[in-house]
Amino acid sequence: MEIRALTFFTELPINTDKQQMEQQIAPLGKQALQVKKLFTDAGFAVQSLRLASQPLEKIFPEGASAEHLALFASQYEQVANQAGFKHVALGTLGASLSTDEASTENSLLKQLMAGIPAIIEATDWVFTSVQLADQANGLKTDCLPPAAQVVVDNSTIKEDGFGNLRYCMVANMPAFSPFFPAAWHDGNSSTAFSMAIESADILVDLLETFDNTEQRWLAEPSLTATFNRLGATLDKLGTEAAALTNITYRGIDMTPSPYPSIPRSFGRIVELLTNEPFGGPSTMAAIGLIKQSLDAANFNRAGYCAVMLLPLEDAVLAQNAISENFNIATLLACAAVGGTGLDVIPVSGNTPQKKIEGLMRDTAMLSLSLNKPLTVRLLPVPGQQAGELTQFNFDYFSSTRIFDL
């Protein structure tokens, strides 16, 4: 198991400039390194230090041009990188706005959303997201078309459409979630941190200790005990880190995120339970079992705390997608049972904006119905069609089949 991210959250000054960011982020970077050392000394590998701000509309409450947003994002990335943060997020756009379609708030949201492709083009590792539904405000219906158009526009920035790795739509995502792109500070609290873990391998190892699938279906107490044990250790370290740095500890996203190798694959967990390829009979039951085990565990929670199904980042899912054992409808059904949504899914480069919009609407409504955070992160691949294989030059991606919407 590794810690995928220690994510730190800070509130930037309104209409901030580079000097103000340096004064705020440089000291935070030193504290983040202290926290990282605490975890590594305890035997945990930490893959990345990340930084997230409050929602973009709270930084630029009067709006900003695409050119200004691109300059700001570039400076933000530069300052954060110098402080030791490799990945940075501009806090989830729209997370602080109401749903009144006639309000100036939604006009601001649309204006800032239109600047996201410029942000993606001007930076290497700045992540962006937009929240289009939550329980308090419902669905921001009129903001769906521009949110989908951002996906289309982002897909042309890089030759392989890689820019959309750094953009997603979310619904019901709370503040202080450590997973990117949808990480954001609420703009009303102190500086904070939370952690995202990569623990699929621990669950694989546990299930492999059982002799057969019948015994594995009875493993919920053992799975919950594993989550409890891991949570207790990480919570203790998080509390110690908070005392050391005076930074608020916000908890763990215990989602068993995968890595593109079979021993670290969530798909492998499903297949150990079902004795079938991922997507076959009992796939949703297996996901439900893991989610129930996770729900029963006792630890400080942040973010999704669900099941992450990433066809590009999971070796077993990647291979089963090539074999056409599941499709996007399968993943959406799995999201209803215990998943995090439709995440890192390659689709045809010529996918119409309307289809992307429709999938966002479906996922947002599912999120509202279930009162749980869900995401949509699609990667249209220019020049490629459904059924062809991806060719991303990225260490954290497996080659898989391009999906058809």
More confident call, 405 vs 373: 373
Whole-number average pLDDT of the chain: 96
Mean pLDDT of 324-333: 97
Local confidence band at 96 (pLDDT 50, 70, 90 cut-offs): confident
Q: Give the model confidence (pLDDT) of 222-244 as tens digits.
A: 999 999 999 999 999 999 999 99
159 pLDDT above the threshold of 90: no
102 pLDDT above the threshold of 90: no
Q: Give the model confidence (pLDDT) of 166-183 as tens digits.
A: 999 999 999 999 999 999
Which pLDDT value is given to residue 317? 97
Local confidence band at 105 (pLDDT 50, 70, 90 cut-offs): confident
Local confidence band at 106 (pLDDT 50, 70, 90 cut-offs): confident
SS (H, E, C) the chain: CEEEEEEEECCCCCCCCHHHHHHHHHHHHHHHHHHHHHHHHCCCCECCEEEEEEEHHHHCCCCCCHHHHHHHHHHHHHHHHHCCCCEEEEECECCCCCCCCCCHHHHHHHHHHHCHHHHHHHCCCEEEEEEEEECCCEECHHHHHHHHHHHHHHCCCCCCCHHHHHEEEEECCCCCCCCCCCCCCCCCCCCEEEEEEECHHHHHHHHCCCCCHHHHCCCHHHHHHHHHHHHHHHHHHHHHHHHHHCCEEEEEECCCCCCCCHHHCHHHHHHHHHCCCCCCCCHHHHHHHHHHHHHHCCCCECCCCCECCCCCCCHHHHHHHHCCCCCHHHHHHHHHHCECEEEEEEEECCCCHHHHHHHHHHHHHHHHHHCCCEEEEEEEECCCCCCCECCCCCCCCCCCECECC
158 pLDDT above the threshold of 90: no
Mean pLDDT of 330-354: 97
Backbone angles phi, psi at 21, to 5 degrees: -65, -40
Which pLDDT value is given to residue 103? 64
101 pLDDT above the threshold of 70: no
Domain boundaries, the chain: 1-307
Query: CB-hemisphere CA count at 13 Å for 63?
Result: 14
Local confidence band at 99 (pLDDT 50, 70, 90 cut-offs): low
Domain 1-307, CATH number (from 3.40.50.300, 3.20.70.20, 3.30.450.80, 2.60.34.10):
3.20.70.20
Local confidence band at 370 (pLDDT 50, 70, 90 cut-offs): very high
Q: Cα–Cα distance between 109 and 132 in angstroms, integer?
A: 10
Share of the chain above pLDDT 70, in %: 98
* Measured CA distances, 278 to 225, 283, 328, 365, 400 (Å): 25, 6, 13, 26, 14
Confirm if 12 and 210 have CB atoms less than 8 A apart.
no
Q: Cα–Cα distance between 269 and 15 in angstroms, integer?
A: 47
Mean pLDDT of 37-64: 97
Mean pLDDT of 122-135: 97
340 pLDDT above the threshold of 80: yes
Least confident of 29-33, 75-79, 95-99, 241-245: 95-99
Terminal Cα-to-Cα distance of the chain (whole angstroms): 34
Mean pLDDT of 2-7: 97
